[in-house]
Structure 1
Amino acid sequence: MGNRGVGFIFKLIEGLAPIRSWVVLTIDAILSLFAGSFAILFLEFALFNGRNVGVLSLWFVVQFVLAGFLRVQKYSWRLFSARDSYRLGKSLLVVGPASAVMLAMTYRDIEIVKFSILASFMAFFLMATARLVVRLAFDSVVRTSSIIRKETGKRVLIVGAGRGGASLSQKLALEGYDVVGFVDDSWAKRKMQINGFKVLGRSCDIENLVKGFRVDEVIIAIPSISKSQLKKITDECLKAKVQFRTLPSIKEILDFNQSPDHLREVKVEDLLGREPIRLDKALTRSEIKDQTIMVTGAGGSIGSELCRQILEFGPRSLIMFERSEYNLFHIERELRRRFPNANLSAVIGDICDEVALDRVFLKHRPKILYHTAAYKHVPLMEESPREAIVNNVFGTRGLAQAAVKFGVAKFVMISTDKAIRPLSVMGYSKRLAEIITQDLAAKSETSFMSVRFGNVLGSSGSVVEIFRKQLAEGGPLSVTDAEARRFFMTTPEAVELVLHAGSHGSNGSIYMLDMGESVKIYDLAKRMIDLADPMGQKNIQIEVTGLRPGEKLKEEILWEGEDLIASNIDHVSMFKNIVSIQGLELGLSKLYRCIHSTSGQCGDELKALVNTIDAMENIRRPLTKKDPEVAYPAFSSPAVMARVANQQA
């Protein structure tokens, strides 16, 4: 067949895409009629006997309806495999006995039951054969027809010779790419041919294969790939100075409805830190389902993700409380589109407005409250300590008191690792917010708990977002200190921990997720430059600017003196220090007068109050005594408890 003929066939197939299911059902119906007719002839029935025509018609109707119900028409013909054949056969194993029962009940004849079984078997044979023929024809055309090769002819190497890679190889070939072959670390796949393309080697051979086959792009086709595997493969691609992309992960496919063959750039979030921790969602679902939930700061990075995940658990209603009209508008539109049946209330308000809080609590009567509203940017809060205190301290206090007043069952507050041995105004303000909620935990029926985070990847104002903007502008990337280190976690992980604390947490506790090893910001900047410019053509530089006011060189995750208790979840630590300080209210009153004075040193008053309370609670010293700037290493709860016990001994 010439190029014009092949081109016409492919255009015809593309044109039939909108009605593909009906076309497939029609073909299957024709094949089923052939199968039924063959069964009648084989059993030596009288073909034109009126009764047998009725038998054939009834069998055909049952076959057609059940096949449609079991979505047999959805199985891909172009990528038909042994697994699809098994699924098709399993579907027809349902259809065959069902049609036999229907015919037996109608005609009460054992010969007709034989007919049904034979006809169903023949239908499976014809359907599977038709799909296999189409698959083989497509494979042949992909490999040999020049019309599929467009003028660009980009040469690609696929990493991963599994089902994802096999499917992708066909798709890329049809779109005009020149697939040179696969690499795969499985010894069982060495020198195999998949869709006519060879497995050329392992991931460690990428550099040599790129040079030997003049590869233009490497595509990573392993949806279940781990962070360590992905980092290893991207390092090989960077050594080879070749462009690379990846398929979405299984989590992205399941959680965000991404197409399994949707190629995207490798993001730094894919490589940073250790493997994500998956928490048990069963108890979280039982706690949230049919409850009235309120989220403050609902338009922010954490607040908006909280709203998304909460709605997956089927709450009775969700109240989104947010000061920014712009942010609230966008998250409400998104959620109403994604969850059209959800009971949503978008409320513009400020946690510092007592009347606004009373009105929303009185109207909606939430039972669980997630408090994410806060000022979080360290240098800005150093310049505006009063605003940090008003919002993070007294806003939290007013919200917590309203929660107690209106009978909220659980109050979960977002805190920060910067509240550990704080140095900045922001860190001190969040530490005081922790103390306030712990004080209320000892005095009220409402359960209060806090969750400490490291830096959240991709959140507004995060270092990753700043670097992305600087990369878009051509650099340089600004790093405060070459030795500065931070802990990182992804937004979904952070939100899972918040929801977990709300369902598993105990009153007065502070939770911290094992965030793995801290990351050197300078290395993060280099990695992002490599990902943005793997060929090394843009010469993007890194500029060291010096630490800003309030910033630590290295963050910590634990103080000695905090009462460490084993949590019931791996990789999650719990600190339980319920405080009820008689001088707390007096200190808050003094701080309140200070923020309403034009001459008061609010930041100094804040630090003095927190230091006084922590000194009373013996929470003063960093866990690492020799070097106070070295963050404590990655931990799991039992390991930390053992180390603390050894130090105390």
Structure 2
Amino acid sequence: MTYKKRMLVVMTVDSLIVLSAIFIGAFLLYNISSLWDGLLVSTAIVLVIAHHVFAYIFKLYKGAWSYASTNELLRIFYAVTMSLLVAGLFQVAVFGMLSTRALVVTWMLHILLIGGTRFAWRMYRDHYRKPKKNRTRTLIVGAGAAGTMVARQLQGSPESELEPVAFVDDDVSKQHLEMMNVPVAGTVEEMQAVAEDFRVEQILIAIPSLARCDLQRIYERCTETGVKTQIMPLLEDILSGKLEVTQFRDVQVEDLLGRDPVELDTEGIADTITGKIVLITGAGGSIGSELCRQLCKFDPSEVILLGHGENSIYDIHTELKNTYTHITFDTEIADIQDGERMQTVMDTYAPDVVYHAAAHKHVPLMEKNPQEAVKNNVIGTRNVADAADACGVNTFVMISSDKAVNPTSVMGATKRIAEMVVQDLNRRSATRFVAVRFGNVLGSRGSVIPLFKKQIEAGGPVTVTHPEMTRYFMTIPEASRLVIQAGALADGGEIFVLDMGEPVRIVDLAKNLIRLSGYKVDEIGIDYMGMRPGEKMYEELLGDEEVHEAQVHPKIYVGKTKNGNYEPAKEVIKYINHDSLVAQLIEVSNDFKQESSKVRAAN
């Protein structure tokens, strides 16, 4: 029904209600002959007109009856009261008298009938419209505002596949109560028993403000039930209109990190990025592409997407130019190992800020190909950094790795030497050179999550190197935010590190992913394959001599890095085609452990 037709229907119904209220009131107080009295008829006409005027003023005709609430009732009270006051004034002004009793009775009937029609329609919508048959019996975790909102939406939608049958909530004051006619049947710890008692077929987690450590605890209880578990959208997505309340999603492994994401100093970043020319190397990679997305939120004037793979650069360029039409995007298919090409690109665009995300990062592959690791991670970094220095770039941010701390792998050693390259340049350049270290990135190319998912899809088993191996984990957006924040905080020469909370056992991550995929751990199985060349049992974010207790930003530290001597790094480049390359890497990166070479010799 169109808005105009709806208005016509509502006004007609309200007119009949107003007339019924005044004539029924007169009939109850007086006699039938009084219904044709001039005072009554003229008052009825004035009352109808006044009602429509005040109904418009108080927006009674804009409210959806199927969602009538206490606010609607309050507006009805105001509109009816003002209408009766106008009718009373009319009687006094024209007839010199006031039918007090009749007006009071009319006022009561008026409110009862107007309000009754609204709430009767809502009652019909909520309770009498036939829902789908065989709906999924659903347990809602959280009986707060979000949980009751979810229950109301599910109950009020006949098309919904879900039927709320119970809540669980840790709030003692809500136990044994009912919300939307749905009982609060127990606490989170009692979830398994509640699920059995109510024959639950699905669980919805409806606590949008839930900390990740609490979500992990709740999800563990959910998995014990063996029932499919989903979570409601983020509150900001609901408020912004991106998603509906009932657009539930599966719990992701990123949700279970047990750490809240780092927040950005948006004002500081805006000063660094807004209106500036920004260049990103490795822009087609998982980190580089997300870095581009995050940067564009701060409205740079121009973004240069540089990468070696044409398909990945094409994909991110197409996505960004369709999303951010006011920003200029340029693409450069180039190899950072080509120093002259890097200088040409820098001279062409004269960027204000450079984010260097291009690198080889796969540990076992770089163990077998140390020359390529040096070419890309060391020489490539030097080429981009030298070009940035010569071009007068304001800030250069290099993405490093926790594997650069006390490295036991070729990849870690090359990253440590790359840090030395930018620190050396910072001492003699007007450009501010900084590096950013973080741990493993969930979902990035070559990370453990895609591998585990493929193994689970194939029916298992999931392969883990060692039951006690731990790693620090973060999401791709978190990694990108840290890189952007580092650029805003940079004075030059720092190595920024995210406070990543407690490290996670790889085997626990594998178990969570198996459960999230809808299987039991015993169904898929876990095989322990042994540590691979170059791997550590655990990673570090800062060496002992680098630890600086003070945070420069909430959840971000800056390491007190040593003033490494860059001269020996030049020897690595000289030995790139020699068999002693790995030995030079060990020597130059200082802390590179001899155990790595022993492992390589054994293999």
Which residue, 537, 543, 549 being the options, matches 1:553? 537
Q: Given residue 591 of structure 1, which amino acid in structure 2 is its aligned partner?
A: V
Match of 1:139 among 115, 126, 131: 126
The TM-score normalised by the length of structure 1 is: 0.75
C-alpha separation in 1, matches of 2:41 and 2:430 = 78
Mapped contact 2:514–2:521 kept (Cα < 8 A): no
Q: Does the alignment pair 1:577 with 2:564?
A: no
Shift, 1:373, TM fit: 0.8
Aligned equivalents of 1:343, 1:476: Cα separation in 2: 47
Pairwise CA distance, 1:185:
2.1
2:544 paired with 1:567: no
The whole-number CA distance in structure 1 between the counterparts of 2:189 and 2:347 is 63
> Secondary structure of the equivalent of 2:495?
strand
In the superposition, relative to structure 1, how do residues 149 and 571 fare at CA in structure 2: closer, same or farther (>3 Å)? same
Query: Secondary structure of the residue that 1:201 maps to in structure 2?
Result: coil
2:132 is the alignment partner of 1:149: yes
1 CA distance for matches of 2:477 and 2:410? 27
Task: Write the distance in 1 (CA, Å) between the matches of 2:410 and 2:377.
Answer: 10
Letter in 1 for 2:511: K
Q: 1:200 to 1:382 in 2, by over 3 A?
A: same
Say which of 285, 298, 305 aligns to 1:320.
305
CA 296–32 in structure 1, closer or farther in 2 if over 3 Å, else same:
farther
Give the aligned residue type for 1:593: K
Identify if the C-alpha distance between structure 1 residues 224 and 23 changes in structure 2 by more than 3 Å, giving closer, same or farther. Answer: farther
Q: Is the 8 A contact 1:438 1:578 kept in 2?
A: no
Larger Cα-atom Rg: 2
Closer/same/farther in 2, CA of residues 373 and 407 from structure 1, 3 Å limit: same
Contact 1:155/1:214 (8 A) holds in 2: yes
* Code of the aligned partner of 1:164: A
Equivalent of 1:438, from 404, 419, 423?
A: 423
Determine whether 1:385 maps to 2:370: yes
**Partners of 1:439 and 1:578 within 8 A in 2:** no
Contact 2:466–2:530 (8 Å) recurs in 1: yes
Residue type matched to 1:601 in 2? S
1:259 aligns with 2:244: yes
- Kept in 2: contact 1:374–1:392 (CA 8 A): yes
Counterpart-to-counterpart distance in 2, 1:490 and 1:580: 30
Deviations 1:41-64 (A, max 9, x none): 99979969xxx99x999x79x969
Q: Identity rate of aligned residues, in percent?
A: 36
**Does residue 181 in structure 1 map to residue 166 in structure 2?**
yes
Q: Which residue in the other structure is 1:477 paired with?
A: 462
Deviation of 1:293 (Å) = 1.2
Instruction: Work out whether residues 497 and 558 of structure 2, in 8 Å CA contact, stay in contact via their aligned partners in 1.
Output: yes
- In the aligned structure 2, how far is the partner of 1:378 from the partner of 1:249? 35
- Within 2, Cα distance between the matches of 1:606 and 1:537? 41
Shift of 1:417: 0.5
8 Å Cα contact 1:292/1:316 also seen in 2: yes
Q: Distance in 2 between matches of 1:385 and 1:213?
A: 60
The residue number in structure 2 matching 1:465 is 450
Cα 1:42/1:606, change in 2 over 3 Å: farther
When residues 588 and 168 of structure 1 are mapped into structure 2, their CA distance, relative to the original with a 3 A threshold, is same
The aligned residue for residue 190 of structure 1 is 175
Distance 1:472 1:46, change over 3 A: closer
8 A Cα contact 1:189 1:199, kept in partner: yes
CA RMSD of aligned residues (A): 3.8
Verify the 8 A CA contact 2:417 2:569 in the aligned structure 1: no
Moved more, 298-307 or 352-361: 352-361
- TM-superposed CA distance for 1:78, in Å, is 4.1
| Structure 1 residues 80 and 399: alpha-carbon distance in aligned structure 2, compared to 1, 3 A threshold | farther
Instruction: Output one character per residue of 1:240-274: Cα deviation in whole Å (capped at 9) or x when no partner.
Output: 22221111233555799343321121122111232
Other-structure match for 1:106: none
Q: Residues 156 and 217 of structure 1 are in contact (CA less than 8 Å); yes or no, is this contact kept in structure 2?
A: yes
Q: Deviations over 1:136-195 (max 9, x none)?
A: 2211125xxxx4132x43221111223332333244442243321222222333333333
Whether contact under 8 Å (1:139, 1:196) holds in the other structure is no
For 1:539 and 1:241, the matched residues in 2 are separated by: 13
Q: Distance in 2 between matches of 1:525 and 1:454?
A: 17
Match in the other structure for 1:305: 290
| Aligned amino acid, residue 205 of structure 2 | I
- 1:159 maps onto 2:144 in alignment: no
- CA offsets 1:430-484 (integer angstroms, 9 cap, x no match): 1001111011111000001111000111111211221111111111000001111
The reply to whether residue 606 of structure 1 matches residue 585 of structure 2 is yes
Question: In the alignment, residue 549 of structure 1 is paired with which amino acid?
Answer: P
Show structure 2 runs of 5+ residues with no match: 23-38, 83-109, 595-603
Q: 1:408 to 1:195 in 2, by over 3 A?
A: same
Q: Do the aligned residues in 1 keep the contact of 2:370 with 2:581 (CA within 8 Å)?
A: yes
